[in-house]
Amino acid sequence: MKLKEMSRAQLEAFRDEALREYEDFKSKGLSLDMSRGKPSKAQLDISMPMLDVLNSTSDMKDKNGVDVRNYGGLTGIDDCKELFADLLGVKPSMIIVGGNSSLNLMYDSVARAYNFGVYGGSKPWCKNEKVKFLCPVPGYDRHFGVTETFGIEMINVPMTPQGPDMDTVERLVSSDPLIKGIWCVPMYSNPDGYTYSDDTVRRFAALKPAADDFRIFWDNAYCVHHLKDDHDHLLNIFDEAAKNGNEDMIYEFASTSKITFPGAGVAVICASENNVAHITKQLSMQSISYDKVNMLRHVRYFGNADGLKAYMHKHREVLEPKFDLVVNMLEEKLGALDILRWNAPRGGYFVSVYTEKGCAKEVVRLCKEGGVVLTGAGASYPYKKDPDDSNIRLSPSFPPLDELKQAMELFCISVKLATVTELLG
């Protein structure tokens, strides 16, 4: 029976039962962490053979004969550029291979634009009275952390299953020259798991910004992270942008953080040749080279983009049962009550759920008290303010399956308890 159709007496009985279940659970003294989308130990173990690819007798030269152990090659070794170019469907000359973190490349890109300006822009962003960013919500908390750090005003744009609401994006971007950027996770978005539709990608590629220094931050973190055979497909934004002469408007990012090791992968920025030349000049004041040994290690391990894609099946074997468990438990425990909405993603790292308005913080608090730490309610919104106090990001990847099951039991009980308490007033 739907919770909202219950009489007051039924609701009270429901609350008493939920409370009993909750107290039972609490007495187990659990201590589980589902707060971040980290790969599990089993996933990290998959990539251990990569560490044996290079040893003290290895040939340490890249395909051009450059010794990767030495200084130089600021934008990365060609072998690695080719790997990522193939993966992202662009030319190798559009790739800069960085260190281990794409978030670091995003932060640096905002910092460079803010302090020095972007290719084709008339002045640094900081020379404006104010700088604004569009933030599709819910979104990735660390994106919002970067823009908040620079004092950039963040404007919420609603997400839909097709991507950000493009009517709003087009209206704002074309009318306000202080809007300098937008954060996008176009494939298996964090946290909803939505992939932008072809129409959305085409509309992004055809934007006509009022600012001459606007950039789309296209964070393609989950481009190969499929969980199902009938996985999503994302249109190549650079192909579409070329049709509009808009290639300079896009910075794309990716990394192997959730392919090999989050602490020791390789990350890239992918951009037009104009942007790459502009960024390289600025980067040359910052560094002489990134970790080319690690680039070579990754290239030798995967061989090519097809090798890397095939390798992702090993991750899927670990992750798919966890995602299935989460979605099945939500359906089984809460489906009929009609008190929670969620998307069953076909890839990525998260299941995003929506409680009744005003219940998310309480659910997260109940879970914490019961021994399961979730991502803070509101974290997926700029300034940590979810206007509806409704969205919660579940991260099934890290705990082993049996712990995940327990965490989800507690989560479902907490949703029941928080919702019925709210309904009873």
**Residue ranges binding ligand PLP (CB under 6 A):** 37, 101-103, 140, 185, 190, 219, 221, 255, 257, 262, 267
Please state the closest distance from residue 190 (CB atom) to ligand PLP, in A.
4
Please state the closest distance from residue 24 (CB atom) to ligand PLP, in A.
34
Q: Which token pair is 56?
A: 């003290």
Please state the closest distance from residue 183 (CB atom) to ligand PLP, in A.
9
Nearer to ligand PLP, 108 or 409 (CB): 108
Please state the closest distance from residue 213 (CB atom) to ligand PLP, in A.
23
Q: Are 78 and 63 in contact (CB under 8 A)?
A: yes
Please state the closest distance from residue 136 (CB atom) to ligand PLP, in A.
11
Other beta carbons within 10 angstroms of residue 126's beta carbon come to 14
Please state the closest distance from residue 202 (CB atom) to ligand PLP, in A.
22
What's the distance, CA 53 to chain centroid? 29
Nearer to ligand PLP, 146 or 327 (CB): 146
Other beta carbons within 10 angstroms of residue 258's beta carbon come to 22
Nearer to ligand PLP, 190 or 414 (CB): 190
Please state the closest distance from residue 145 (CB atom) to ligand PLP, in A.
11
* Integer CA distances (angstroms), 76 to 45, 256, 289, 344, 394, in order: 26, 15, 7, 37, 35
Nearer to ligand PLP, 221 or 337 (CB): 221
Closest CA to 34 of 269, 373, 281, 260: 373
Nearer to ligand PLP, 268 or 327 (CB): 268
Please state the closest distance from residue 222 (CB atom) to ligand PLP, in A.
7
Please state the closest distance from residue 257 (CB atom) to ligand PLP, in A.
3
Strands 132-137 and 179-184: parallel
Nearer to ligand PLP, 18 or 264 (CB): 264
Q: Which token pair is 187?
A: 């494939």
Q: How far apart are CA 40 and CA 148, in angstroms?
A: 30
Which secondary structure element, helix H or strand E, spans residue 72, and what is its range? none
Nearer to ligand PLP, 225 or 416 (CB): 225
Angle between helices 401-424 and 8-26 (to 10 degrees): 150
At a CB cut-off of 8 Å and minimum separation 6, what does 330 contact?
Answer: 340, 342, 351, 353, 408, 412
- Rg of the Cα trace of the chain? 23
Q: How far apart are CA 103 and CA 111, in angstroms?
A: 12
Please state the closest distance from residue 131 (CB atom) to ligand PLP, in A.
21
Q: Which token pair is 138?
A: 């819910």
Amino acid identity for residue 68 in this structure: V
At a CB cut-off of 8 Å and minimum separation 6, what does 158 contact?
Answer: 136, 137, 164, 165, 168
Q: How far apart are CA 272 and CA 90, in angstroms?
A: 9
Nearer to ligand PLP, 25 or 188 (CB): 188
Please state the closest distance from residue 72 (CB atom) to ligand PLP, in A.
24
Nearer to ligand PLP, 121 or 191 (CB): 191
DSSP 48-62: GGGGGSS-TTS--B-
* Integer CA distances (angstroms), 172 to 47, 133, 190, 237, 244, in order: 44, 10, 23, 20, 19
Q: How far apart are CA 404 and CA 370, in angstroms?
A: 14
Q: Are 378 and 385 in contact (CB under 8 A)?
A: yes
Nearer to ligand PLP, 32 or 106 (CB): 106
Nearer to ligand PLP, 267 or 366 (CB): 267
